[in-house]
Structure 1
Amino acid sequence: MGLTITSFEARYGDAFLIEEHVSGIKFLVDCGFKLTYQQHIKKKINSANFIILTHSDEDHINGAFPLIHDCPEKFSLDRVYVNSPESIPIPRNNGVISIRQAKDLVNLLQEKKLPFEGLIQGQTIEVSNNLSLDIISPTQTELDSYYEKYNDHLATVKKNTEGTSISLNSVIKPILEWTKKPDSFSKKSDDIANASSIAFILNFRDKKVLFLADSHPEVISDFLLKQGFNSKEKAVFDFIKLSHHGSEKSISKQLLNMISCNNFIISTNGGKARSKHPSVETIAKLATLVDRNGNDEINFYFNHSISTIETRNGPLLSSEERLLYKINYIEQNEIELS
């Protein structure tokens, strides 16, 4: 056995468990909502070596509260990686972090005396002999902007409760029409929370998995460019966990032209209110623009049923288009790497 990636049913949030079977090491990437912990995580495990909380949006961080409350009596945890002024040993003028739930989390970690630290681009976590994590987001610039521009007022308004505004998939277009649509991602300065997300490359033996959290496409493409990748020399991945649950506002044609992969993970039940995902545009652009790394087919792994997603979100690509472009929708919560 090698490594298992479990994508918990976290509604429209993220919660992943990574288990390396030889070493016995296991860690969580985000914890979804409080019910995600109660209904899924605690039924699967009662200990973890560490947790990476990629950013402070409720659909990623809220499940960490009951988990940490259970430490150490009901849940054993060694360390938490989370970005906050307290976890980055650099002097800051603005004092404590401004997003209320992130500050509440830090207070809880301090109360429980759980070690925590931040992560920025360029760091590497050596998990075991065969497993490491290369941190590719955020940069120090994005992290500084996050601390400077998010204040207590912004934390109480719709920014953290509605998420990015995403249109319903109610407009039926041929797949190539979706491909022609221009990029629609926000400026990094207008999307600070997502631009400061912790994204990383999981290296396991000869396999690479790109975990994008809710990261901004320009942060990722800028990193890849610095590593020497481009439209001719592409970055190859075995799996990519799509940013922001497959939102069209979290991809760019530049990024898609720099990667080679035919397996994409989408964590969502379709979203809520005006925040609907995944976008048909995202799936269409991936299916037509991304190099498939020598494979004929392209696979999209969903941790909720397609019928649930389409009920909430409107129809995805037609069966005829999926057949023509060799697109597979796979309802599967566990992925094995050998």
Structure 2
Amino acid sequence: MALVITIFKANYGDAFLIKELSSGKQFIVDCGFKLTYRQHIKKKTNSVDFIILTHSDEDHINGAFPLLEDYPEYFSLNKVYVNSPESIAVPRVAGGISIKQANSLFKLLNEKAVQFEGLTQGEVLEISDDFSLEIISPTSDDLECFHKKFIEEITSDLSDKKETDISSNVATKTITEWAELPDSFLKKSDDIANTSSIAFILNYKDKKVLFLADSHPEVISDYFQQQGFSSEKKAVFDYIKLSHHGSAKSISKRLISMVSCNNYIISTNGGKARSKHPSVETIAKLAILVDRNKNDEINFYFNHSVSAIETRNGSLLSENERLLYKINYIEQNEITLT
């Protein structure tokens, strides 16, 4: 028997269906946009055991609205895991975060009488004898901090805040020059939405998949350090779903040094407006710096056309660089663990 991970085409968003074939247990991680639900999710399934909504960015949460509107007549579920409104980030100019949107979600959950609860670091969801989720982000302390930040900023004047790029592949560099760039992630206190994002390790039999949602690299690195992992003793994964669609602002050299993996999932059609995902910097740093878990090649799994992404954003790496560093781009919407 096997476990199947379906990576829905959610444009520049995230939406996954995870199903254990032997038990029939299945759940959704994020719902992408409204069209993601209508065009993809509801055509694949009309029933799940639960849904995890990692945080309130529009590209993760919007598809939950039509799904919940269909509940219970056309879509069945037992529970939604989502952190409370107090843990969700304040509105910002770029990124599609909305307190109003988040509160609308909780209003709809209450109207539909759907059971919901939060998830924080240290919890474990036991799904079957062979299948569990280990929650590694966010911490309870971070959520408390973000609640205070929410109260401070919800009434502040955001009109003078300038729009910033999330990722931008604007300069031509070699793969080694990209890999040598310093970390560019924001401080946790300046990156509320991503620091409060739910991330987890999927354990299935002897397989491990790291689902990073849009999590902050320091939260994940700190957790691995607490578990005894380091650059000498690495956390080994069969697959890693990269944070924030492969953004360079969601990865760090410290995190890269602590993991061993040669398969990476990138969920994006290239980004929105001036943001460009994935970042060439992220691919280059992984290709050169990460431990490949005793494999020669490193694989990047895309749920959208790589050529379309490169047409929009420019080349992710040259053909010669990909050959030299044994980098594979794989367009695939399903991954099977056995």
TM-score (normalised: structure 2): 0.93
Q: Which residue of 2 aligns with 1:83?
A: 83
- Report matched runs for 1:204-283 at 5 Å: 204-283=204-283
Q: Within 5 A, what are the aligned runs for 1:36-47? A: 36-47=36-47
Which residue of 1 is the match for residue 135 of structure 2? 135
Q: CA deviation at 1:45?
A: 0.4
Secondary structure of 1:320's match? helix
Asked whether the equivalents of residues 264 and 299 of structure 1 are also in contact (C-alpha less than 8 Å), the reply is yes
Give the direction of change, closer, same or farther, for the CA distance of 1:110–1:87 in structure 2 (3 Å limit): farther
Report the Cα distance in structure 2 between the residues aligned to 1:186 and 1:87, rounded to whole angstroms: 18
CA contact under 8 A between 2:256 and 2:289: conserved in structure 1?
yes
Matches within 5 A, 1:286-297: 286-297=286-297
- The answer for the alignment partner of 2:102 in structure 1 is 102
Partners of 1:35 and 1:63 within 8 A in 2: yes
Q: How far apart in 2 are the matches of 1:311 and 1:176?
A: 23
**Pair 287,41 (structure 1): closer, same or farther in 2 beyond 3 Å:** same
Structure 1 length-normalised TM: 0.93
Name the SS of the counterpart of 1:189 in structure 2: helix
Q: CA deviation at 1:166?
A: 3.2
Partner of 1:95: none
Rounded Cα–Cα distance in structure 1 between residues aligned with 2:51 and 2:282: 28
Please give the alpha-carbon distance, in whole angstroms, between the structure 1 residues aligned to 2:332 and 2:159.
35
Q: Report the AA paired with residue 14 of structure 1.
A: D
Q: RMSD of the alignment, in Å?
A: 1.9
CA positional deviation for 1:312? 1.9
Tell me if structure 1 keeps the 8 A contact 2:87–2:147: no
Q: Which moved more, 1:165-174 or 1:22-31?
A: 165-174
How far does residue 314 in structure 1 lie from its aligned partner after superposition? Answer: 1.6
- Change in 2 beyond 3 A, CA 1:238/1:140: same
- Secondary structure of the 1:83 match is coil
1:35 aligns to what? Answer: 35
1:46-90 deviation line (CA, Å, top 9, x unaligned):
0110000000000000000000010000000110000005899xx
1:195 aligns to 2:195 (yes or no): yes
Moved more, 300-309 or 136-145: 136-145
How many Å separate the matches in 2 of 1:155 and 1:176?
42
Distance of 1:158 and 1:306 partners within structure 2? 37
Shift in alpha-carbon separation, 1:271–1:43, aligned structure 2, 3 A: same
Displacement of 1:286? 0.2
Q: Deviations over 1:235-281 (max 9, x none)?
A: 00000000000000000000000000000000000001122110000
Structure 2 residue aligned with 1:10: 10
Q: 1:59 & 1:155 partners in 2: Cα distance?
A: 25
What letter is aligned with 1:17?
L
1:309: which partner in 2?
309
Q: Distance in 2 between matches of 1:240 and 1:286?
A: 11
2:64 is the counterpart of 1:64: yes
Tell me, which stretches of 5 or more residues in structure 1 are unaligned? 89-97
Q: Distance in 1 between matches of 2:203 and 2:240?
A: 12
What amino acid is aligned across from residue 74 of structure 2 in structure 1?
A: K
Q: Name 1:333's counterpart in structure 2.
A: 333
Structure 2 counterpart SS, 1:215: coil
